A and B are shown apart, each in its own frame.
Chain A
Amino acid sequence: MGNKGDFRVPVSQVPHSVPIPEDITGIGGTVSVEINEKKISVPLGTTILEACKKVGISIPTLCHHDDLCIAGVCRICVVEVEGMRTLQASCSFPITTPIKIKTSSPMVRKARRHIIDLLLSEHYGECYTCFRNGNCELQNLAKEYGVDSYTFGHIDKPRFEVDNSSYSVVRDMSKCILCKRCVRTCIDLQEVGVLEAIGRGDKTHIGTFLEKPLADVICINCGQCINRCPTGALRANDPSDAIWEAIDEPTKHVVIQTAPSPRAAIGEEFGLPAGTSMTRELNTALRRIGFDKVFDTNFAADLTIIEEGTELILRLYNALVKKGKVALPQFTSCSPGWVKFIEHYYPEYLDNLSSAKSPQQMFGALIKTFYAQQAGIDPANIVSVALMPCSAKKFECNRPEMNSSGYKDVDYGLTTREMARMIKEAGINLPEMPKSDFDSPFGEASGAGLIFGATGGVMEAALRSVVEFVTGNKTEDIFERANIIPLRGFEGIKYMEIPIGDKVGRVPDLIKHFIPDWNWLKGATLKVAVAHGTANAKKIMEDIKSGGKFSECHFIEFMACPGGCLGGGGQPIPTTPEIRMKRAEAIYAEDESLEIRKSHENPNVIRIYKEFLREGPCSHLSHKLLHTHYVKRGRYIA
Chain B
Amino acid sequence: MEKKERKGIVLFSEYKRGEAIKKALEKSREEILFELRESKLKGRGGAGFPTATKWNMVAAAKSDKKFIICNADEGEPGTFKDRALLLEYPELVFDGMVIAGYTIGASEGIVYLRGEYEYMLKSLNDYLEAMRKDNLLGKNIVGKNGFDFDITIRLGSGAYVCGEETALIESLEGNRGEARNRPPYPVNTGYMGKPTVVNNVETLAAVPHIVLKGGEWFKKYGTDKSTGSKLFSVSGDCERPGVYELPWGTTINELLEIVGAKSVKAVQVGGASGICIPKSQFNRSLAYEDAATGGSIMIFGENRNMLHVLKNFMKFFVEESCGQCTPCRIGNTKLSEGIEMIEKGEYTFAYINKLKELGQTMKVASKCGLGQSSPNAFISILENFKEEIFNGNGGRNGK
B168 CB, nearest partner CB in chain A, Å: 15
Give the interface segment out of B23-31, B224-232, B327-335. Answer: B327-335
Interface flag for B367 (CB, 8 Å): yes
Please measure, in the bound complex, the distance between the C-alpha atom of A121 and the C-alpha atom of B324, giving whole angstroms.
17
Please measure, in the bound complex, the distance between the C-alpha atom of A93 and the C-alpha atom of B326, giving whole angstroms.
18
Chain B residue numbers with a CB within 8 Å of A93 are 181, 183
Chain B residue numbers with a CB within 8 Å of A152 are 330, 334, 354, 358
Please measure, in the bound complex, the distance between the C-alpha atom of A67 and the C-alpha atom of B364, giving whole angstroms.
28
* Residue in B173, B181, B334 whose CB lies within 8 Å of A70: B181
Interface flag for A107 (CB, 8 Å): yes
Question: Known contacts being A72-B181, A96-B183, is A202 close to B323, with CB within 8 Å?
Answer: yes
Please measure, in the bound complex, the distance between the C-alpha atom of A93 and the C-alpha atom of B181, giving whole angstroms.
8
Chain B residue numbers with a CB within 8 Å of A78 are 364-365
Q: Give 1 or 0 for each of B350-363: 1 = CB within 8 Å of chain A CB.
A: 00001001100101
Interface flag for A94 (CB, 8 Å): yes
Question: Known contacts being A75-B325, A114-B365, A178-B323, is A197 close to B176, with CB within 8 Å?
Answer: yes
Question: Known contacts being A73-B326, A92-B181, A151-B354, is A110 close to B361, with CB within 8 Å?
Answer: yes
Q: Give 1 or 0 for each of A149-172: 1 = CB within 8 Å of chain B CB.
A: 001110000000000000000000
* Residue in B161, B320, B364, B367 whose CB lies within 8 Å of A73: B367
Interface flag for B148 (CB, 8 Å): no
User: In residues 69-104 of chain A, which contact B (Cβ within 8 Å)?
Assistant: 70-76, 78, 85-87, 89, 92-94, 96
Task: Indicate if the CB atoms of A200 and B320 lie closer than 8 Å.
Answer: yes
Q: Give 1 or 0 for each of B299-339: 1 = CB within 8 Å of chain A CB.
A: 00000000000000000011111111111011111100100
Please measure, in the bound complex, the distance between the C-alpha atom of A11 and the C-alpha atom of B172, giving whole angstroms.
12
Interface flag for A115 (CB, 8 Å): yes
Please measure, in the bound complex, the distance between the C-alpha atom of A499 and the C-alpha atom of B148, giving whole angstroms.
56
Task: Indicate if the CB atoms of B329 and A201 lie closer than 8 Å.
Answer: yes
Interface flag for A119 (CB, 8 Å): yes
Interface flag for A10 (CB, 8 Å): yes
B195 CB, nearest partner CB in chain A, Å: 14
Interface flag for A204 (CB, 8 Å): yes
Chain B residue numbers with a CB within 8 Å of A201 are 317-323, 329, 332
Task: Indicate if the CB atoms of A86 and B323 lie closer than 8 Å.
Answer: no
Interface flag for B184 (CB, 8 Å): yes
A68 CB, nearest partner CB in chain B, Å: 14
Q: Give 1 or 0 for each of B129-142: 1 = CB within 8 Å of chain A CB.
A: 00000000000000
User: Which residue on chain A has the smallest CB distance to residue B320?
Assistant: A201
Please measure, in the bound complex, the distance between the C-alpha atom of A111 and the C-alpha atom of B362, giving whole angstroms.
8
Task: Indicate if the CB atoms of B181 and A203 lie closer than 8 Å.
Answer: no
Please measure, in the bound complex, the distance between the C-alpha atom of A253 and the C-alpha atom of B159, giving whole angstroms.
61
Chain A residue numbers with a CB within 8 Å of B181 are 16, 70, 72, 89, 92-93
Interface flag for B146 (CB, 8 Å): no
Interface flag for A12 (CB, 8 Å): yes
* Residue in B178, B354, B367 whose CB lies within 8 Å of A75: B367
Please measure, in the bound complex, the distance between the C-alpha atom of A178 and the C-alpha atom of B184, giving whole angstroms.
23
Interface flag for A544 (CB, 8 Å): no
Task: Indicate if the CB atoms of A118 and B319 lie closer than 8 Å.
Answer: no
Task: Indicate if the CB atoms of A10 and B176 lie closer than 8 Å.
Answer: yes
B369 CB, nearest partner CB in chain A, Å: 10
User: In residues 606-622 of chain A, which contact B (Cβ within 8 Å)?
Assistant: none
**Which residue, of B173, B320, B357, B367, has the highest number of chain A Cβ atoms within 10 A?**
B367
Please measure, in the bound complex, the distance between the C-alpha atom of A180 and the C-alpha atom of B176, giving whole angstroms.
13
Chain A residue numbers with a CB within 8 Å of B367 are 72-73, 75, 89
Interface flag for A547 (CB, 8 Å): no
Interface flag for A14 (CB, 8 Å): yes
Task: Indicate if the CB atoms of A122 and B364 lie closer than 8 Å.
Answer: no
**Which residue, of A16, A177, A180, has the highest number of chain B Cβ atoms within 10 A?**
A16
Interface flag for A56 (CB, 8 Å): no
| Interface size range on A against B | 35 or more
User: Which residue on chain B has the smallest CB distance to residue A199?
Assistant: B323
A71 CB, nearest partner CB in chain B, Å: 8
Chain B residue numbers with a CB within 8 Å of A111 are 327, 361, 364-365
Question: Known contacts being A14-B175, A201-B319, A204-B324, is A119 close to B330, with CB within 8 Å?
Answer: yes
A209 CB, nearest partner CB in chain B, Å: 15
* Residue in B161, B175, B329, B358 whose CB lies within 8 Å of A114: B358
* Residue in A96, A119, A200 whose CB lies within 8 Å of B319: A200
Interface residues of B, CB < 8 Å — how many? Answer: 39
Chain B residue numbers with a CB within 8 Å of A202 are 318-319, 321, 323, 329-330, 332-333
**Chain A, interface SS category:** loop
Task: Indicate if the CB atoms of B365 and A115 lie closer than 8 Å.
Answer: yes
User: In residues 178-194 of chain A, which contact B (Cβ within 8 Å)?
Assistant: 178, 180
Interface flag for B376 (CB, 8 Å): no
Question: Known contacts being A114-B361, A202-B333, A204-B329, is A73 close to B324, with CB within 8 Å?
Answer: yes
Chain B residue numbers with a CB within 8 Å of A204 are 321-324, 329
Q: Give 1 or 0 for each of B173-196: 1 = CB within 8 Å of chain A CB.
A: 111101011011000000000000
Chain A residue numbers with a CB within 8 Å of B364 are 78, 85-87, 107, 111
Chain A residue numbers with a CB within 8 Å of B107 are none
* Residue in B174, B176, B326, B372 whose CB lies within 8 Å of A74: B326
Question: Known contacts being A12-B175, A75-B365, A86-B372, is A178 close to B334, with CB within 8 Å?
Answer: no
User: Which residue on chain A has the smallest CB distance to residue B327?
Assistant: A75
Interface flag for B56 (CB, 8 Å): no
Chain B residue numbers with a CB within 8 Å of A107 are 364
Task: Indicate if the CB atoms of A200 and B358 lie closer than 8 Å.
Answer: no
Please measure, in the bound complex, the distance between the C-alpha atom of A122 and the C-alpha atom of B331, giving whole angstroms.
11
Please measure, in the bound complex, the distance between the C-alpha atom of A122 and the C-alpha atom of B161, giving whole angstroms.
23
Please measure, in the bound complex, the distance between the C-alpha atom of A96 and the C-alpha atom of B185, giving whole angstroms.
12
B53 CB, nearest partner CB in chain A, Å: 16
User: Which residue on chain A has the smallest CB distance to residue B369?
Assistant: A86
Please measure, in the bound complex, the distance between the C-alpha atom of A512 and the C-alpha atom of B240, giving whole angstroms.
98
A16 CB, nearest partner CB in chain B, Å: 6
Chain A residue numbers with a CB within 8 Å of B319 are 200-203
Task: Indicate if the CB atoms of B323 and A200 lie closer than 8 Å.
Answer: yes
Task: Indicate if the CB atoms of A86 and B363 lie closer than 8 Å.
Answer: yes
User: Which residue on chain B has the smallest CB distance to residue A113?
Assistant: B361
Chain A residue numbers with a CB within 8 Å of B363 are 86
Please measure, in the bound complex, the distance between the C-alpha atom of A177 and the C-alpha atom of B326, giving whole angstroms.
8
Task: Indicate if the CB atoms of B325 and A94 lie closer than 8 Å.
Answer: no
Please measure, in the bound complex, the distance between the C-alpha atom of A453 and the C-alpha atom of B270, giving whole angstroms.
60
Interface flag for B103 (CB, 8 Å): no
Please measure, in the bound complex, the distance between the C-alpha atom of A18 and the C-alpha atom of B181, giving whole angstroms.
10
Please measure, in the bound complex, the distance between the C-alpha atom of A197 and the C-alpha atom of B324, giving whole angstroms.
9
Please measure, in the bound complex, the distance between the C-alpha atom of A201 and the C-alpha atom of B332, giving whole angstroms.
9
Interface flag for B71 (CB, 8 Å): no
User: Which residue on chain A has the smallest CB distance to residue B363?
Assistant: A86
Chain B residue numbers with a CB within 8 Å of A119 are 326, 330
Please measure, in the bound complex, the distance between the C-alpha atom of A180 and the C-alpha atom of B174, giving whole angstroms.
19
Question: Known contacts being A78-B365, A118-B330, A197-B324, is A12 close to B176, with CB within 8 Å?
Answer: yes
Task: Indicate if the CB atoms of B325 and A73 lie closer than 8 Å.
Answer: yes
**Which residue, of A87, A94, A114, has the highest number of chain B Cβ atoms within 10 A?**
A114
A192 CB, nearest partner CB in chain B, Å: 18
Q: Give 1 or 0 for each of A116-130: 1 = CB within 8 Å of chain B CB.
A: 001101100000000
Please measure, in the bound complex, the distance between the C-alpha atom of A16 and the C-alpha atom of B365, giving whole angstroms.
20
A72 CB, nearest partner CB in chain B, Å: 4
A602 CB, nearest partner CB in chain B, Å: 52
Chain B residue numbers with a CB within 8 Å of A114 are 327, 331, 357-358, 361, 365
User: In residues 332-391 of chain B, which contact A (Cβ within 8 Å)?
Assistant: 332-334, 337, 354, 357-358, 361, 363-367, 372
Task: Indicate if the CB atoms of A16 and B180 lie closer than 8 Å.
Answer: yes
8 cross-chain CB contacts under 8 A: A16-B180, A72-B367, A86-B365, A115-B327, A200-B320, A200-B322, A200-B323, A203-B319
Q: A71-B324, A118-B334 are in contact. List 4 more A-B contacts (CB 8 A).
A: A70-B181, A152-B334, A200-B161, A200-B323
A-B complex: 9 closest residue pairs judged by Cβ atoms: A204-B323, A12-B176, A118-B330, A92-B181, A72-B181, A114-B361, A111-B365, A201-B321, A201-B319
Which of B's residues lie within 8 Å of A, judged by CB? Answer: 159, 161, 173-176, 178, 180-181, 183-184, 317-327, 329-334, 337, 354, 357-358, 361, 363-367, 372
